[in-house]
């Protein structure tokens, strides 16, 4: 069984791992508009935005239940209870997605480090037990030799 060098295997794999949430979209050559769009989930899931929506919900939903009149213009601009509650739900979903992406990146980083450590241990075991590795059919990597300096050319 032949070994595949670590650099070759890592070249074919995305930085976040083979099946990551963050590796689904191509991040190369992002325009200013694309980078601005990436901030939308962060803004939606931010605490100030959620607090603002809850206050809007109190103003548009709870106050009319207690007999306080809310102007039609405020309802037209702010929406009704279905708009406010669905906006709060969208914020919660955006926050959940951001949490999953963050956890996926952390897990991928830990997995890359674990793979690197296992490859180091594997190469050390091959180095220490060369005879057992050759008996199993493993091809040992050739030690890299430094190019020898050529002798200076003689001039007449």
pLDDT digits (tens, 9 = 90+) for 62-112: 888 888 888 888 888 777 778 888 888 888 888 888 899 999 999 999 999
Which H/E stretch holds residue 98?
Answer: helix 81-128
**With pLDDT > 90 as the criterion, what percentage of the chain qualifies?**
15
Q: How confident is the model at residue 121 (pLDDT cuts 50, 70, 90)?
A: very high
Q: How confident is the model at residue 27 (pLDDT cuts 50, 70, 90)?
A: low
pTM to 2 decimal places: 0.51
Q: Average pLDDT, stretch 143-154?
A: 58
Say how far apart CA 117 and CA 111 lie, in whole Å: 10
**Would you place residue 3 in the very low, low, confident or very high pLDDT band (cuts 50, 70, 90)?**
very low
Q: Is the four-CA dihedral 127, 129, 135, 137 of positive or negative sign?
A: negative
CA distances from 94 to 37, 38, 39, 45 (A): 13, 12, 11, 6
Q: Determine the pLDDT at residue 152.
A: 61
Residue 156, classified by CB atoms within 10 Å of its CB into exposed (0-12), middle (13-18) or buried (19+), is exposed
The answer on pLDDT for 32 being more than 60 is yes
DSSP E strand boundaries for 9-149:
none
pLDDT at 2: 46
Q: What is the dihedral of CA 8, 24, 32, 50, to 10 degrees?
A: -140
CA distance 85 to 62: 12
Residue 1: its pLDDT value, please? 44
What is the model's pLDDT at position 107?
96
What are the C-alpha distances in Å from 120 to residues 2, 6, 56, 145, 151? 17, 10, 57, 20, 37
* Chain Cα centroid distance, residue 137: 38
Q: Quote the pLDDT of residue 9.
A: 44
């Amino acid at each position: 069984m032949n070994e595949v060098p670590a650099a070759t295997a890592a070249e074919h794999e995305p930085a976040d791992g083979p099946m990551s949430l963050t590796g689904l979209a191509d991040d190369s050559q992002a325009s200013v508009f694309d980078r601005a769009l990436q901030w939308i989930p962060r803004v939606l899931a931010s605490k100030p935005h959620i607090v603002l929506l809850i206050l809007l919900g109190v103003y548009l939903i709870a106050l009319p239940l207690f007999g306080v009149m809310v102007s039609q213009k405020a309802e037209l601009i702010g929406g009704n209870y279905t708009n406010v509650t669905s906006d709060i739900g969208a914020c919660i979903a955006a926050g959940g997605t951001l949490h999953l992406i963050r956890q996926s990146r952390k897990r991928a980083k830990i997995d890359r480090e674990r793979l690197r450590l296992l490859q180091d241990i594997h190469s050390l075991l091959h180095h220490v037990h060369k005879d057992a590795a050759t008996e199993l059919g493993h091809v040992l990597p050739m030690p890299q030799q430094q190019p020898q300096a050529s002798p200076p050319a003689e001039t007449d």
